[in-house]
Structure 1
Amino acid sequence: MMNIPSFYLEPANYAADFPDLHYLRTEVFVVEQGIAPEIEFDDLDRDCRHLIARDAARRPIGCGRLSPTGRIGRMAVLPAWRRQKVGESLLRGLIELAGNLGLSEVTAHAQIAALGFYRRYGFQTVGAEFLEAGIPHTAIRLTIAAPAPMSRQSEDAPESSVPAIRLQTPEAAAEAALALVQQARRLLCIYSRNLDSRLYSQKPLVEALKQFALRNQRGAEVRIIVQEPEAIRGQQLPLIDLAQRLPSYIAIRAAVEAEDLNFRPAFIANDNGGYLFQLQSDRYDGHWSPNLPAQNRQLSEEFERVWQRARICSEFRALAL
């Protein structure tokens, strides 16, 4: 099953988010691994950049930090959230942060038990094993390239991340979707089971999609992946009508792989850092942000992977559905 768990990353302010960071690291390192609190919490914390992972209810589930010299550390994920890509997202987020700060290399002291995890992302060991806080470690490092701009990311995209906002109603989801379309630059990605009419038949949203497609002379593109095209064919959906009238701008593909068809959430991601995530495609409990790059990147990359293996919905090119 395609794995986009219901969590997101955000930068953590050490002072404001200290209770959450303290909770996570106490649970994982002090309680679970038996590391002394005076070792776990050091003076370097205040000088580091921190990332925190939160679930859909904004509860902290994981964290990590990056020192001014590029050392990644204090990677902690609660047991219930392991093997759900939280650690992967934190690591990638910290590496990206280092690149954005102009660092050419990141290092870490990796626990031997977690060495395979780091090696999957290109880290190499440096020197012999050693004990740190009574646990076997080894030094690792990764050379990172200069950061490349995200695909189709606008140079005037908002700089400040906006914490995720909880969604609970169709009305709130419709307002968020409209904002994402209006803020998009040249690319908008939609992943939906059957283009729920409560969202995608809203006139303001369809009109915004039309204007988005037509206002960008350099070539705007709306990419849509659906899981149940047969359920859409019998409906009179304004979005499908628009796609038929603007086939050069709006492309629709159908998921074909079992793991993609079994994926239950739905989401929207634009090329300006914004996203909307529904925990289930037929419900509106979820979260969104006009600019939260870490979560946007996660969804955009998953969308691209599915897009490449999805089939073109040629049936939606015909006027008679």
Structure 2
Amino acid sequence: MTPAARPFRVEAVAFEDGLPALRAVRDTVFVQEQGVPVELEHDALDPLCRHVIARDADGQPIGTGRLTPERRIGRMAVLAQWRGRGVGEAMLQALIDEARGLGWRELSLHAQASAIAFYARHGFLPFGSRFVEAGLEHQSMRCLLDAVNPVEDHEAALAALLGVIAGARRHLWAYSRELDPGLLDRPEAVAALRRFAVDGGETRLLLQDPAAPQRAIAPLLGLAQRLPTAFAFRAIEEPVDRSYPSAYIANDRGGWYFRALGHRFEGESRLDAPARARQLRALFEPVWERARPCSEYRALGL
């Protein structure tokens, strides 16, 4: 949805001018809904931060967010009746654009556990262990702006994968050794691929060992049987192709996640680098043409 077509607008606001609107939204969401103590919600950082407010067509506040001097996004809140309508995405993008305008190269945030996937769709990757803040479970996340983001562990790998899937328009290309157990079989990943497929997306997957997912009864194979036009698998058989050590997934909007060693989760990712995504697709296509279709997957009876 373009900004002109939205039933709301997002604007930057000075703290003093926006204080009543900021408090109206944040007190409703954090204090009343989530039980955050008001003395924690009203902190001393607010006057030092840059704030954005989302307003409906009548000018009423419906969402808030801020950038702290520590280059952290915080206080992201949307009124319940407006959730799932793009308000959070628009505010997050406004804050990222503001950070770019300030010349910041990195942003971090403390995401509530339920919002990790939301931030992953915008390129933020988790780091460190989860922790409790204001009585709620949180996860630290960060994003390098206009740069490659390192993927350092399993949870960051899942977030990178979810970001690439969510950013795809119609096509995904994945090169995998054995359908990435521990990653492509995670419920969050399967659910994201299902949404992409139902929305008309096509996913092509190249496998070095197609028998391994069969033995493991990988959930993605069952999903592919239910949505056969959305998924295509091919087995890599040429020796020169089987010696390729890496793995990756790329989409048609410039998002990608690449692992130099395909049996590990560590790698790098970026959601807005179309040149690199095209390069990965150029690697993928000739191997796809040489590989054989995994016809055995159509008869699994899962």
1:296 aligned partner: 277
Q: Which of residues 186, 189, 199 in structure 2 aligns to 1:215?
A: 199
1:281 aligned partner: 262
2:291 aligned partner: 310
1:181 aligned partner: 165
Q: Which of residues 198, 206, 228 in structure 1 aligns to 2:182?
A: 198
Do structure 1's residue 263 and structure 2's residue 263 form an aligned pair? Answer: no
Amino acid at match of 2:266: D
Per-residue deviation, 1:291: 1.1
1:63-100 CA-partner distances (Å, limit 9, x unpaired): xxxxxxxxxxxxxxxxxxxxxxxxxxxxxxxxxxxxxx
Per-residue deviation, 1:319: 2.7
2:221 aligned partner: 240
Per-residue deviation, 1:297: 1.1
Amino acid at match of 1:201: D
Quick check: 1:191–1:267 contact (8 Å CA) kept in 2?
yes
- Which stretches in structure 2 are left out of the alignment for 5+ residues? 1-144
Per-residue deviation, 1:244: 1.1
Amino acid at match of 1:227: Q
> Structure 2: how far apart are the matches of 1:238 and 1:187?
20
Per-residue deviation, 1:320: 3.6
Identity %: 42
1:63 aligned partner: none
Give the secondary-structure state (helix, strand or coil) at the position aligned to 1:201.
coil
1:263-299 CA-partner distances (Å, limit 9, x unpaired): 1110000001010001111112210000112211110
Do structure 1's residue 166 and structure 2's residue 150 form an aligned pair? Answer: yes
Q: Normalised by the size of structure 1, how large is the TM-score?
A: 0.48
> Structure 2: how far apart are the matches of 1:260 and 1:170?
26
> Structure 1: how far apart are the matches of 2:274 and 2:191?
26
Per-residue deviation, 1:303: 0.6
- Which stretches in structure 1 are left out of the alignment for 5+ residues? 1-160
Map of 1:1-321 to 2, 5 A cutoff? 162-216=146-200, 220-320=201-301
Amino acid at match of 1:288: S
- Work out which structure has the larger RCO, using CA pairs closer than 8 Å and 6 or more positions apart in sequence: 1
Give the RMSD, CA atoms, in angstroms: 1.3
Q: Give 4+ residue runs of structure 1 displaced > 2 Å after superposition.
A: none
Per-residue deviation, 1:254: 0.6
Amino acid at match of 1:202: R
Per-residue deviation, 1:240: 1.0
> Structure 1: how far apart are the matches of 2:225 and 2:190?
13
Per-residue deviation, 1:262: 0.8
1:55 aligned partner: none
Answer with 161-170 or 298-307: which moved more. 161-170
> Structure 1: how far apart are the matches of 2:216 and 2:146?
36
Amino acid at match of 1:244: Q
Quick check: 1:162–1:290 contact (8 Å CA) kept in 2?
no
Q: Tell me the number of residue pairs that the alignment of Structure 1 and Structure 2 aligns.
A: 158
Q: Normalised by the size of structure 2, how large is the TM-score?
A: 0.51
> Structure 2: how far apart are the matches of 1:296 and 1:164?
12
> Structure 2: how far apart are the matches of 1:249 and 1:183?
17
> Structure 1: how far apart are the matches of 2:272 and 2:249?
13
